[in-house]
Structure 1
Amino acid sequence: MPRPESPLDCAPQRRALAESLRATRAATGLTYAEMATTEWGLSPATLKRIASGNGPVPKRDKVLTYVNICLVLGGSDRAAAVFAAGQDVYRLWGLARQEERGTLGVKPLAAEFIRDRGDLSYALYALYESIGAPSLRELRTGAGGPPYLPLTTTAQIVTRQTLPADTKQYKAFLAGCGITEGVTHYRAWIDAWYKVMLDETPLLARDR
């Protein structure tokens, strides 16, 4: 049986993330030692630290690995409970990172209200912050890899120094932030690009 966790003494969003991670593990009945017996290679100490609430917010990939281990090892009879416990972790990680970075007050700008390049630049910055400002390499991986989104360009986009060079780079950045075709507001983001950058009628089919 898992041992009781240490009490949490951390900032509110960090606490919420740690509580969610702990609830996910509790739903499996696994110990940290049992969780460590996987191909992902995280030690019991690392897994415990991820859910400890202490120190910096853990990296996004480690948090997702923690949840994936619970889903894989939790057993079919507990799958629903594990999934329910872990499904909100990604959102909570983003809030914990915003809290850590001091960007909880950054207000998102809905794509429908983007009017010019300044708005578009701010909206992309706010979108990046809203997902917890993952490392640029993580963002690039989500975007499809180096050919789609160079690190230097990515850094300049998230610091509002430049905009994506073209439509494909723009779509790659959106994908890295979780905005892909079929997701709510995807069309609005694409329409905003055409409205601002090309000053012509938005057509999703134009660059397919």
Structure 2
Amino acid sequence: MARPEASIDHTVPELGRLASHLRSMRHAAGLRYADLADRSGYSAAALKRAASGKSLPIIGVAFSYAVACVAVTMDAEAGRLVPQLHEEAKNAVTQAKLDARKSTVVPKPQYARDLADLSGAMRDAWRRMGEPSSRGMERAGGGHLPRTTANVITHGRTVPRDFRQYVAFLMACGVAEDDPADWLPWMRAWFKIRGRPAWREVRSVSVTLPGTAQLAYWHLLVQESDDPEAAWSEVSDISQSIDGAPHRAGTGTGTGGGTTEWDAGPPPLVWESQTRRHRLIGQTARDRTAVREGRPQATKTRNRISAPHTVA
């Protein structure tokens, strides 16, 4: 008498569902794994692994498994369900691997004092997202983050060449997807290190920003301006030119669907703590001084940007 088959691993539910479906097809066909191997061209061991739920089978194995069963049962509907279940399992396994790589370190851009610090904070955000691939970051960057640039940024060899690429990198790392206030420390860090943009640049950049980033960008330009009234007027003009029509009192719509309130006052964003403490793990004071003065770092540290700073 053959040993009973091991129970299905449901650690990844979608992978478990695929395995359960394959096993139910085999039971309905009344086939042994040796029979499946003869009919499919794959080994019995590979077919057994495909229905274990422990690992994702290649689509060829899963499809051949299903075809061999359908040839007996004539249940075409069950066979058509296999590619869908395999795709769902594939996406779930990819996400599970990503989650397993996620770091628990919270990025702290508010403490960044130079490009090396900012690079370290950006890489902390990348690790917290689970170290997504450069190809995936290119897709998430909306056309503003080439994969080669994403790769060198995540390896600490460069920083974004402009503000839009900076935002694209942070978007790819899942920063501030819903709350505009989450953008503020990142944008403050950029302004502190790179300087405030000219209004001509603000106008061109604003058109390309997603809703939450656009709202935070405008808010910060007004709130931290030496002349808030003049800045308010500039931002209002930019907002109206983007939307193509003047705002009615109290409301307005940004390009990304975010709501602005230029006539009613600044958007009600939550401001994070203005703590001035600075703590950078893994880089000595001598190394930070060397980076600022344009000299090579004395030691190999976590923040690997060294002068001269390169941009993509």
TM-score (norm 2): 0.37
> Which residue is 1:177 aligned to?
173
CA contact (8 A) 2:137 2:147 kept: no
Residue of structure 2 in register with 1:6 after alignment: 8
Deviation, 1:160, is 0.6
Match of 2:99 among 80, 90, 95: 95
Partner of 2:123: 125
Equivalent of residue 193 in structure 2, options 186, 192, 196: 196
One-letter amino acid of the structure 1 residue matched with residue 175 of structure 2:
I
User: Residue 133 of structure 2 corresponds to which residue in structure 1?
Assistant: 135
Residue deviations 1:95-115, cap 9 Å, x none? 3134xxxxx4x7333222222
Aligned partners of 1:35 and 1:44 also within 8 Å: no
Matched letter for residue 179 of structure 1 = V
- 8 Å Cα contact 2:110/2:185 also seen in 1: yes
Which residue number corresponds to residue 94 of structure 2?
59
Task: Give the C-alpha shift of residue 49 in structure 1.
Answer: 6.7
Tell me if structure 1 keeps the 8 A contact 2:107–2:124. yes
Partner deviation per Cα, 1:150-190 (whole Å, 9 max, x = no partner)? 11111111001000000011011111112247525211111
Q: Which amino acid aligns with 2:217?
A: L
Q: Give the match for residue 85 of structure 1.
A: none
1:55-78 Cα deviation digits (max 9, x unpaired):
xxx334xxxxxxxxxxxxxxxxxx
Greater length-normalized contact order (CA 8 Å, ≥ 6 residues apart): 1
One-letter amino acid matched to 2:158: T
Larger radius of gyration: 2
Number of the residue aligned with 1:63: none
CA distance in 2, matches of 1:50, 1:182: 23
Root mean square deviation of aligned Cα: 4.0
Corresponding residue of 1:74: none
| Superposed displacement of residue 31, structure 1 | 5.0
Q: Does 1:167 align with 2:163?
A: yes
| Residue 187 (structure 1) aligns with | 184
* Structure 2: gaps (5+ residues): 1-5, 23-65, 67-76, 198-215, 222-234, 239-312
The answer to whether the 8 Å contact 1:140/1:150 transfers is yes
On the 8 A contact 1:140/1:149 being kept in 2, the answer is yes
Aligned counterpart in structure 2 of residue 110 of structure 1, from 99, 108, 111: 108
User: 1:6 is aligned with what amino acid?
Assistant: I
C-alpha displacement of 1:198: 1.7
Relative to structure 1, the CA distance from residue 49 to residue 139 in structure 2 (aligned partners, 3 Å threshold; closer, same or farther) is closer
Deviations 1:8-66 (A, max 9, x none): 7xxxxxx5xx36x579x7xxxx957989957xx84545655776xxxxxx334xxxxxx
**Percent of pairs identical after alignment?**
27
Aligned residues: 144
From the superposition, tell whether residues 36 and 191 of structure 1 become closer, same or farther in structure 2 (CA, over 3 Å): farther
Q: Deviations over 1:125-144 (max 9, x none)?
A: 11111111112121111110
- Counterpart amino acid of 1:157? I
Closer, same or farther: CA 45–125 of 1 in aligned 2, 3 Å:
same
| Alpha-carbon spacing, 1:114–1:31, altered in 2? closer, same or farther (3 Å) | farther
Q: Check whether the contact 1:142–1:175 (CA below 8 A) recurs between aligned residues.
A: yes
Q: Tell me, in whole angstroms, the C-alpha distance in 2 between the residues paired with 1:127 and 1:35.
A: 43
TM-score, structure 1 normalization: 0.53
